Structure 1
Amino acid sequence: MTIPWAVATSATAVALSTTRSAVLRRQPSPCSAIATMSTAGEKSVSSDAAHLDTIFKQKKALRSVIRRDLKSMDPTLRSQEDEAIQRIVLEAPWFKACKGLCSYVSSSVLREVDTTRILSHILTSHPEDLQMRKKLFVPRVEDRNRNMRMLNISSTEDLIASSMDILEPAPLDADGNEREDVLFANEPVDLLILPGLAFDKAGRRLGRGGGYYDTFLSRYQELAEERNWKQPLKIALSYSVQIVDEGTIPLTPNDILVDALVSPSGVIPISSAALEICH
């Protein structure tokens, strides 16, 4: 979803109109007209930059609040919500039906909703019918420039601890071959299980500020469009304290909405795609 940039105010419109009339009366040279357009453009860019700066400050403040709430969350309640959320996912028809998915590997350091049971179920379940097996891709952060790959794993032993003590797939498998990257896979995935710091019931998601997931989601959406694949369902897992009032999370043009939330109380469908699937 594309969010409009800051628009000119009525005062700015009047100013531009006055400037344009004055310029016409003076019959300016082409050079002076270009200079006037350049100044107006610079003001617009400056206004856009100020608007984005305000949004980034609002996001930073909200992150501090949610991090504090997560830190003070009762361990027993956290465990109960982890159990409830994972049970809801595992029992959901859209999870059972999916053949390929991307999912984050939960980190206790980041206080993310636990995905251990979900991933274990996928990696240890081997139905006789090969068509029922799920192909799993998990994230590996490549650098500090928002580059994150989703790589295929077949066992928890494929995961290694990063410098931040977060489990990620090793770039090579046990045979020394490069792992399959979902962006170069021949088949689409049906489901994306996403983390985040805060969410609302309109589909807004507040990440941790790195931009890794929004960048990946944008790339995968473009890939799906190019190959004429159905867009995967974007499901975010959320503790109760992470769900905020609508309008609390500000958006930038790069932010991507989720299709549904899974909270301890159940599935909250948001998009039309989710309303069709999440019964």
Structure 2
Amino acid sequence: MESVLRRMSTNEALREAKRELRALIARKLDTVDPRSVQEQSRIVFKLLSQLPQYQQARRISVYLSMPTGEIDTVPIVEDAFKQGKQVFIPFTHKAVPATSSDEEPKPSIMDMVSLHSLEDYQGLKRNSWGIPTPTKRSLDTRKNCIEEVKAGEHGLDLIVVPGVAFDGACRRLGHGKGYYDYFFKRYHEAAGGKLPFTVGVALQEQMIDTPTGVPVGDKDWPMDMILVGNDTSISRE
């Protein structure tokens, strides 16, 4: 009983630390000039396009950015199609019931589904967050990367990952829904312990340089690399 209470206390402390950091970053992002976001996005795209992992990747996942407050990924999507890459984007939907007692129930989960073309991307409607999103009706025509991996087909080579905050140890804080961390877990299991190269992209205002860094738990996945809008790249040692 004591160990259960200790674990509950630790988990609540972690959740509170994450909530406080999200609030801090939100206040910082409120003051960022949109022109700075665009310039930092240009720099991050330049860094990404120079990476051998990106140049060699044939199948990549790219988040589609919100109108404000994060690195704009439009140039990445456009370049990926120009380079002949297959592009996958997030799609969030209601989860099926948990299959085991130790699996945490989730009201919704995220998959990565394919885009057919640049025109397909440009025709997507924006959701309530302002994010271009495919319709449920179109899913039957789109590839699902985890289903492909389960079938023994080639998976993703690289994933461009958003976040609320990052630190110098390539730790990441998300928005609190656990979408990416749970996606990494599912992909890792489906691929027999493998995971694509993960690249977090960040505005310089999203980087944390405190001694403790980003608060993380055992379900939080680190990035292989972080690209920052101040022309900095950080690799996980």
Sort the TM-score into its range (normalised by shorter chain): 0.7 to 0.9
Aligned residues: 217
Structure of greater Rg:
1
CA distance in 1, matches of 2:39, 2:71: 11
Q: Residue 102 of structure 2 corresponds to which residue in structure 1? A: none
The answer for the alignment partner of 2:144 in structure 1 is: 181
Which residue identity is paired with 2:116?
S
Structure that is richer in strand per residue:
2
Please name the residue that 2:76 is paired with. Answer: 118
Q: Indicate whether 1:217 and 2:180 are aligned.
A: no
Match of 2:87 in 1: 136
Give the corresponding residue for 1:236: 200
What is the CA–CA distance in structure 2 between the aligned matches of 1:159 and 1:247, rounded to whole Å? 40
Matched, 1:57 2:16: yes
Please give the residue correspondences for 1:1-279 in structure 2 after superposition, counting only pairs within 5 Å.
42-109=1-68, 111-123=69-81, 125=82, 133-143=84-94, 145-155=107-117, 156-157=121-122, 159-173=124-138, 177-185=140-148, 186-225=153-192, 230-245=194-209, 246-264=211-229, 265-271=231-237
* Residue identity (%): 27
Contact 2:158/2:197, CA 8 A, preserved across alignment: yes
1:223 Cα deviation after fit: 1.5
Would you say the 8 A contact 1:171–1:178 is kept in 2? no
Q: Which AA in structure 2 matches 1:258?
A: M
Contact 2:160 2:200 survives alignment (8 Å): yes
Normalising by structure 2, we get a TM-score of 0.85
5+ long unaligned stretches in structure 1: 1-41, 127-132, 272-279
Query: Given the two structures, how large is their TM-score scaled by the length of structure 1?
Result: 0.73
CA deviations on 1:8-67 (whole Å, 9 max, x unpaired) are xxxxxxxxxxxxxxxxxxxxxxxxxxxxxxxxxx22111100110011001000000001
Q: Which runs of at least 4 in structure 1 moved beyond 6 Å after TM superposition?
A: none
RMSD value, Cα: 1.8
- In structure 2, runs of 5+ residues without a counterpart are 95-105
* In 2, Cα distance between equivalents of 1:52 and 1:162: 32
What one-letter code is carried by the residue in structure 1 that aligns with 2:24?
V
Structure 2 residue matching 1:188: 3-state secondary structure? coil
